Structure 1
Amino acid sequence: MPYSLSRAHKKIIRNIAFPIMAIVGLMICFVIALAVFLAQQQTADEIKREQNLARGMIDIRLSELAKIVNDYAFWDDAVSNLTKETNFEWAETNVGPTMKERYGVDAVFVLDPDGRTTYGMSNESRTQLPAAQIMTSGFDRILSERASRGSEATASGIALADGRPALVAVSPIRPYNGLVDETKDRRTILAFVDLLDDAELDRLSKVYRLPDLHIEEGGASATASVVVTTSDGRVPVRLAWTGDDPGKRLLEKLLPFLLALLAAFVILILFVFRQMTVLLRNLRKTEERASHDPLTGLLNRSVLMRKLEAMTDIKGQVTPHTLLYLDLDGFKAVNDRFGHEVGDMVLRTASHHIKAAVPDNASVYRLGGDEFAVLIAEDLDVSIIRSIGAQIIGAISLPMSVANQTVKVGATIGVSIAPKDGKAPLDLIRHADQALYMGKREGKGSIRFYIGVPSNSSRQKSQ
C-alpha cells in the first residue's frame, strides 16, 4: 500500500528513536539537576558547619573570659584591695584600663555582696555609672546562675552592655593562699565584659574565617547567620557573615560542561530531526514514484494488485468489491495525428475526468498506455455500477481542448465483481479485461459485465 516505507520509518522513529533521545535527554537533565542539588547540599552543609563554628566561637570566648576573670578573682591581692574597701589605685593598675590591651576586656565591674557597684571601668577609663545601669538584659541572670552554683563558682553568658551584645563572665573574689576566707558567705563579685563591637567581631572574623562577621538587625539578609540569645532568653542576637559557597564554585566548574553537553544534545536532536525529515521526504518521493504513475499522478498497477490482495483476509474471506477496467476509444488516432505530447495531455485530462466522475470511496489507477481501472470497495447493485460507468464514459467523451487543438476520445468499460467473478486479483483483472474486449468487439462506448468469457480468448482492441 502507498507510503508503507515512510510509515515503517516513522514507526521506527516514534517507537525507538524518540524514546532513546528522550531517555538520553532526561538523563542529561537528571545529571544537571543532580549536580545542582549536590551543589546546594554542599553549600548547605558548609553553612551548617559555619553555624556550628560560630556557636563554638562564642562558647570558646566565654570560656576564655571565664578563665581570665577566675584567675583575677582567685587572688589574695584582689581580696585585700577590692572586698572590704576598694583600693582604686590598685584597681586601676591591675583590673582597670589595662585589661583591654591584655585580654580584650572592654568593661570591668566589682560588685559588693549586696550587688552595689564599688568599682567600674568602661571604654578604658573609670566610670561612676553602676553596673546595673550599663548592663541590662541577661546580666542579672548570669549573676543568679553563679550564685546558685556555690560560693566558688564562675559563670558566663551573653548580656547587653549599653544596648549592644556583650560576652560576660563573673567570678567571686576569694583568697588563693595564706589568707583566711572571711567572705565565704558574702562574696564580692568581679565581672569582665567583652563587647561584641566592630573591632571584636573583626578579630573573631579573621580567627574563625567568617568573612564580614557582624550583628544583623531586622530580617536576615546575609548568606549565613546564627541566632544566640541573652542569658535571660529575652533578646535574640543574630550573628551574620558571608557564608562560603562551595556548591557555587562546583557549579561554576561543572555546569558549563553540563550545559554544553545539553546544548550539544539539543543540536544533535535538531540535526537528527532534520536528517530524518529529509530522509522521510526522500522516501515519500521514492514511494510516490514507485506507487504512482509519473504522467497522470494516478496510482499504478502494483498498488492495485496490493489493494486487491488486501480484500482477502487470512481466512480466505473476500470483501465484496467491484473492478472497472476501461480503455480509451480513439486514443491511438489522436496520438498518431497530433503526436505523443498531445497524447500525454489527453491522458492527463482523461485521468482528471475519471477521478471527478467516480464516487468518493473509489480509487483510480492507470495500468499503462490508455488503460485505466477503477476499484470500488463495496458490493454495489448492477444499476449503480452502470450509472458510475456511464458517468465515466460521459466525462471522457466530452471534447478536450489541448495544445490549441480540440480532440475527442471515448471509453469502453469492462466490469468484474468479487467474489462472484473471482477472488484472486489476477482473475478479477483478467475477467474485467475480457469483458472490456467483448465490449470493444460489440460496440465502443459501452459497459460490459463479465459473463464467463473463455479465459483463452485473445483480444485485439480497436483504437
Structure 2
Amino acid sequence: MRYEPVGHGSPPLQKAKGEAQAVEIRRLSKPFWITVIISAVSLMAFVSFLSWTLDRNSIRSSEHIFTAMLGDRSDHLADITLEYGYWNDAVENLVESFDMTWIRETFVDYMQEELQIDGIHLLDGNNQPKVHVVEGKVANTDLRVRYGPSMSVLIADARNTPQDEAPVPATGLVGNLETLYLASAVLLTSYTEDSDTSTDHVLVFARPINASVLADMAEKYHLPGLGLAQIPPAFWQAGYDIETVDRRHLGFFVWNPELAGFRMLPLLALGVLVVYLGMY
C-alpha cells in the first residue's frame, strides 16, 4: 500500500499553482513598473529642463557682460574724443592755425601706440578733410571707403550738438564686418571761464574691432571664441547684434559661453540611471 505525502499536491498541480502565482505577480507589478517608468521619464525631463535653464542663465549673463563691456569702451572713447575736442590748444592748432608739427606730436607719436586709435580725422565746416592720421601716419584716405556711409551720419550727429556749449561726442559702430570700427566724433569747441565757443570743425577718432582686439576682449572678459558672424548665434552660443550708427544691421558678435548645465547633464543622467538600475 502506498501513502501520499500529507500537505502536498501532485507535481502538475504544484506547477499550475506556481504559474498562477507568477501571472498574478506580473499582473500586480504592472502598475508599479508603469509608475517607475513615468517617474524616470519625468525626472529626466526635469533634469533636462534644469540643465537648459542653467545654460540660458549663463548665456544671458554673458550677454550682459558683453553689453556692459562694449558700453564701457564706447564711453571711454567718447571721453578721449571730448578731451581733445573740447580743448583750447586743439582749436588753436587745428582751426585758428594749422600746425602740422603740433599734429604730429599730438596725434602721430602717441595716439595709436598708447590709446589704440588708428584713425584720426579732421573735417572743416564743409566736411572737407583737413588731415588724416591713419595707423600712425599722416596719409590720404576716403572716409566713405574706409568706414562706409555710417561715418557721414556720425559726423552729422556731432554737428547737431548745441552751439556754444560743451560739445557732446557722437559715438557708435561704423564700417562693415570685414573692417569694423568703434568711432567717436566731436565738434571742436574752445572755452573760457564764462563761455564756450563752437567751431565748424569736427574731430573724429576711430578704433578698429579686428581679430586681435576680439581675442584680447575674449581673454579679458571670458568670452571664448568671440568673433563676428553674419548669421545669428546657435542656441548654445551667446550673441550681440552689430548695428551701425545709421541703423544698418551688419551681423552679430558671437561667442561660446561656458554652459554649466551642459557639463552637469551627463552626471545627472548617470545618477538617475544608477538609481533606477538599483530599483530594478
Per the normalisation by structure 1, the TM-score is 0.52
Within 5 Å, which residues of 2 pair with 1:41-440?
Answer: 41-151=53-163, 152-160=167-175, 163-177=178-192, 184=198, 186-218=199-231, 220=233, 223-265=237-279, 268=280
Measured at CA, do residues 141 and 13 of structure 1 come closer, stay the same or move farther in structure 2, by a change above 3 Å? same
Worse overlay, 148-157 or 112-121: 148-157
Deviation at 1:255, TM superposition (A): 2.3
Q: Is this contact kept in 1: 2:224–2:256, CA < 8 A? A: yes
Cα pair distance change 1:62/1:88, threshold 3 Å: same
Q: What amino acid is the match of 1:45?
A: N
Gaps of 5+ in 2: 1-12
**CA-CA distance at 1:236 after TM superposition:** 1.8
93-102 or 74-83, larger mean C-alpha shift: 93-102
Q: Give yes or no for contact 1:47–1:243 (8 Å, CA) kept in 2.
A: yes
Deviations 1:226-249 (A, max 9, x none): 222111122423111122111112
Write the distance in 2 (CA, Å) between the matches of 1:59 and 1:157.
Answer: 10
Unpaired stretches in structure 1, ≥5 consecutive residues: 269-463
Structure 2 residue matching 1:188: 3-state secondary structure: strand
Q: Which has the higher contact order (CA 8 A, sep 6+)?
A: 2
User: Following TM superposition, by how much is the alpha carbon of 1:192 offset from its aligned partner in structure 2, in angstroms?
Assistant: 0.9
Distance of 2:195 and 2:98 partners within structure 1: 18
Deviation, structure 1 residue 39: 0.6
Tell me by how many angstroms 1:160 deviates: 0.6
Equivalent residue number for residue 38 of structure 2: 26
Structure 1 residue 145: deviation in Å? Answer: 2.4
Structure-2 change in CA distance of 1:162 and 1:129 (3 Å):
farther
Measured at CA, do residues 157 and 250 of structure 1 come closer, stay the same or move farther in structure 2, by a change above 3 Å? same
CA distance in 2, matches of 1:135, 1:116: 16
> d(CA) in 1 for partners of 2:108 and 2:85?
13
Tell me if structure 2 keeps the 8 A contact 1:88–1:119.
Answer: no
TM-score (norm 2): 0.83
8 Å CA contact retained: 1:227, 1:239: yes
Is the CA contact (8 Å cut-off) linking 2:109 and 2:136 kept in structure 1? Answer: yes
Deviation at 1:9, TM superposition (A): 5.4
Query: Which entry has the higher C-alpha Rg, 1 or 2?
Result: 1
The 2-side partners of 1:49 and 1:220 are apart by 15
Aligned residues: 262
Query: Which residue identity does 2:150 align to in structure 1?
Result: G
Give the percent of matched residue pairs that are identical in Structure 1 and Structure 2: 18
